[in-house]
Chain A
Amino acid sequence: MALPYYASASEKAVYYTWRVFCGFVFVFLIAPILIVIPLSFNAEPYFTFTEKMLSFDPEGYSLRWYDNILTHGMQNAQAARDGAWWSDAWNNAAWIKAAKSSVIIGFFATILATALGTLAALGLSQSQMPWRRPIMAILISPMIVPIIITATGLYFFYAKVGLSATYPGVIMAHATLGIPFVIITVTATLVGFDHSLTRAASSLGASPSTAFFKVTMPLILPGVVSGALFAFVTSFDEVVVVLFVAGFDQQTIPRQMWNGIREAISPTILSAATILVFVSIGLLTTVEMLRRRSEKLRGLTPN
C-alpha cells in the first residue's frame, strides 16, 4: 500500500513511523536467531563478540565448540582421529547419543501421530460425524493444556503401568502432543476437498481402500506431510515430558541443551543451536513448498 500523493504531513509521519516500527519488530524476531550463528564460532568461552571477532581476525574464530559437540562424553577424546575414534564418538559422545534418541523418538511418534491423526481427520471432516465439537475439543486439548500438567499426569500414570524410562512411554507421550497439529493441518486440507471425487471412484468400481489410496490420499498428501513435520518438530523440540518420564537412555537433544543451559553453560550449546537453526530453516522451506503445492492441487490461487 503506497502512500497517496495527497497525504498530509502527519499522515506521512504515521506511515513512516509504522514502517520503521515494523522494521524493528522484524529485527527483534530474527536477530536473536541469527546472532547465535557467528557467536558459535567464538574462539573464547564467552557469549559476546570479542575484539578479534569484530576486526575479523581469523584467530578470533574457531570450530572448537563444534568439536566439543563431538568429543563431549567420549571415552578417549584425545586419541588419534582414526576409525576407532569415530566409532567411540558414534557410541559415546553425549550429543550424538542425544541426536540418536531424538530421531528414534521423533520418527515413531510422528508415524503414530500422523497415521491416527489422518484417519481421525477424515472422520471429523465428514458432516455426519456425531459429537464432532466435543471430540475435536478433546483431541486438540494436548496442545492447549500446559505441558507441565501433561508431564505430571504422565509421571503418575507411567509409574503405575510401568512405562517410565522406556522408549514406548516417551514415544506415546510425544505422539499425543503432535496429534493436534496433524488434526489441524489435515482438516484444513480437507475443507476444500471435493467428496464427489471419492463417490465417482466408488461408482466406477473402486473399493473404499482403492478410492482412498488412489484418489483421496494424493490430494490430501501435502497436508498430511506438513502435519507430520509439525508433529516431528513438536517431538524434536519437547523437553518437559522427557524431563519427567524419560530415563537415562532417552536423553534427547533438547534435554541435552537443557543440561547445558542449567549446569555448565558454554558456547557448545550455541553451536548446537546453530545446527538446529539450519534444521528449522530446512523444515520451514519444506512446509512452505508443500503448502503452495497443496494450494495448487486444490485449485486455490494465492490471493
Chain B
Amino acid sequence: MSDSHSIAPNTASAETAGPLKTADGKPLKVALARAQARSRRRAFLLVAPLLLFVVITFVVPIFQLLAQSVNDPSFSRAAPNMVEWFAQNPDAEPDEAAYAALVADLVEMKKNRTAADAGTRINYELSGSRSLFTSAARSADRMEAPFMEAMLDKDEKWGDPMLWQVMRGASTGFTINFYLAALDMTRDAEGNIIAAPEDRQIYVKLFIRTFVLSALIMLTTFILGFPVAHLLAVLPMRTSNLLMILVLLPFWTSLLVRTTAWIALLQREGVINSLLVSVGVIGEDGRLSMIYNQAGTVIAMTHILLPFMILPLYSVMRPIPPSYVRAARSLGATSFTAFWRVYFPQTVPGIAAGGLLVFILAVGYYITPALVGGASGQLISNLIAFHMNDSYNWSLASALAALLLFAVLVLYWLYDRMIGIDRMKLG
C-alpha cells in the first residue's frame, strides 16, 4: 500500500476525531468486517471441495432420478408425427390425420426397432399395448390410405379412446402419471384421475407395510435396547466397556455376514429348528418357518439396527447423575416412581435420537428384506429395485423412490430439529 493512500484519510480523521482506527488507518469496524469476511471465506473454501464432490456424486444423481420420475421419452422420441398431431389438436378425437401420423410413426419404429420400447411405455398404463405396437409396426409399411380403416381392420383396439388418452399423455414426455401409479391411481379415457383397479393396488399397501414394520422394528429395538443401555450406563466403566464390545462388534460386522448368520440360524434345517426338534419342543414335521417371511425381516433387522438404538441411549444415560434417583427415593418415592418420574424423562432425548435413527434406517432398508424377507417381508426399497432390474419401468421406480425420499427427508428434518445432526455420534 502506498504512503499517499494511507496517510491522507488518517490525517483527515485525526482532525474530526471520528471512529476508532487500526494502525494503518482503516476504521476498526471495516477492518473487523474484512477480517471476519476473510475467515468466513477461508472456512467456506475448506468445505467447498467436499461440497462440490457431494453435489456431483450425490445431489445431481438424485435430481436425475427426480427428472426420470416425471419423464419417460421412449414413446415421444419414437413417435414424432404423433407428438406433432397431439400438439396441434388438443382435446380432438383421432381423425384420419391422426391415424396417418400413427402409421408413419409405426413405419419409422420398424426401421429403428423402437416399437417395443414405445409399446412398453404405453403398456405401463394400458396392459396389452406392447404387442399391439409390435405387431402393427411389422405390417405398417404395407398399409394404404385411408389409414383409420386400415388400422381398425388390423386391430379393433386401435379405436380405443383409452389408448389414445394414454398416447396423448405419453406424447409430451413429461407426466405425473408415474406418481399416480405409485399412489395406486390411474386415469380414465377422459383423463380424469381415478383409483386403480382393486387387484392392482399394491404400492400404497407396501408403503403402509414398510412404515408399520419400521415402527415395529423401532419398538423392538427400544424394548431390547433400553434396559441394556441403562445397564451399560450404571455399571462401572471397566465392566461397561467390556460389555460394550458385545454391542459394538455386531455394529462393525458386515451386514451380509449378519444376514447370513440369521439364515443359518432361522431356516427350516437351521440351528434353532434343529435344536427345538432335538429337545423335543416341536416334531420333525413341525419345524417353524421363521425366515423368508415378515418374521425373518423383523428379527434380522432388529438385530442389525439394535446398536443404533443402544448407542444414542447410552450416550444420554451415562451423564445422568445417580444421585437424582437416590434423592427421589429418600424423599419417599417408590422405586417405580423414582424411575418413571425422575430417571425416564431425562432419557427422552436419547429415545428420540435412537428411535428416529432406527426408523429412518429401517424405512429404506433393502439388503436384509431382499435376502431373508421372502414374499411377505419385502419393503418399498425392494419394489424399487424390482422395477429397476426386472420390469425396467424406471420412471415408476423413480417415482416410488422420490416418494420414499420425501418421507425420509421429512424424518431427517425432524431429527435435525429435535436432536441436531451435528450431535450425531458413532461408537
Given contacts A144-B412, A147-B364, A153-B64, contact A33 B249 (CB under 8 A): yes
Instruction: Kindly list chain A residues whose C-beta atoms are within 8 Å of the C-beta of B388.
Output: 152, 155, 244
Which residue in chain A gives the minimum CB-CB distance to B36?
A128
A36–B264 touching, CB < 8 Å: yes
Within 8 Å by CB of A146, from B39, B53, B255, B381, lies: B381
B401–A136 touching, CB < 8 Å: no
Most buried by A among B40, B51, B57, B228: B57
Interface residues of B in 279-338 (CB under 8 A from A): 303, 306-307, 318, 322, 335
Which residue in chain A gives the minimum CB-CB distance to B233?
A1
Interface of B is mostly: helix
Question: Measured between alpha carbons, how far is A269 from B234 in the docked complex, in Å?
Answer: 39
Instruction: Kindly list chain A residues whose C-beta atoms are within 8 Å of the C-beta of B36.
Output: 128
Question: Measured between alpha carbons, how far is A35 from B142 in the docked complex, in Å?
Answer: 69
A176–B258 touching, CB < 8 Å: no
Interface residues of B in 16-70 (CB under 8 A from A): 36, 39-40, 42-47, 49-51, 53-55, 57-65, 68
Question: Measured between alpha carbons, how far is A130 from B274 in the docked complex, in Å?
Answer: 61
A129–B371 touching, CB < 8 Å: no
Interface residues of A in 78-120 (CB under 8 A from B): 112, 116-117, 119-120
A35–B261 touching, CB < 8 Å: yes
Interface-located stretch among B73-81, B99-107, B177-185, B265-273: B265-273
B252–A48 touching, CB < 8 Å: no
For A139-175 the 0/1 string (1 means CB < 8 A from B) is 1111011111110111111101000000000001101
Instruction: Kindly list chain A residues whose C-beta atoms are within 8 Å of the C-beta of B50.
Output: 116-117, 119-120, 139, 179
For B386-427 the 0/1 string (1 means CB < 8 A from A) is 001000001001100100110011001001100001101111
Interface of A is mostly: helix
Within 8 Å by CB of A284, from B252, B269, B360, B408, lies: B252
B47–A120 touching, CB < 8 Å: yes
Instruction: Kindly list chain A residues whose C-beta atoms are within 8 Å of the C-beta of B260.
Output: 36, 257, 261, 269-270, 273
B269–A46 touching, CB < 8 Å: yes
Question: Measured between alpha carbons, how far is A230 from B424 in the docked complex, in Å?
Answer: 14
A76 within 8 A of partner (CB): no
16 additional A-B residue pairs with CB within 8 Å, beyond A26-B246, A284-B252: A18-B230, A21-B227, A29-B306, A32-B265, A33-B261, A124-B47, A137-B421, A142-B58, A146-B364, A148-B381, A149-B408, A172-B57, A254-B256, A276-B254, A288-B248, A303-B318
Q: List 6 A-B contacts (CB under 8 A).
A: A33-B257, A123-B42, A144-B412, A148-B366, A152-B388, A187-B422
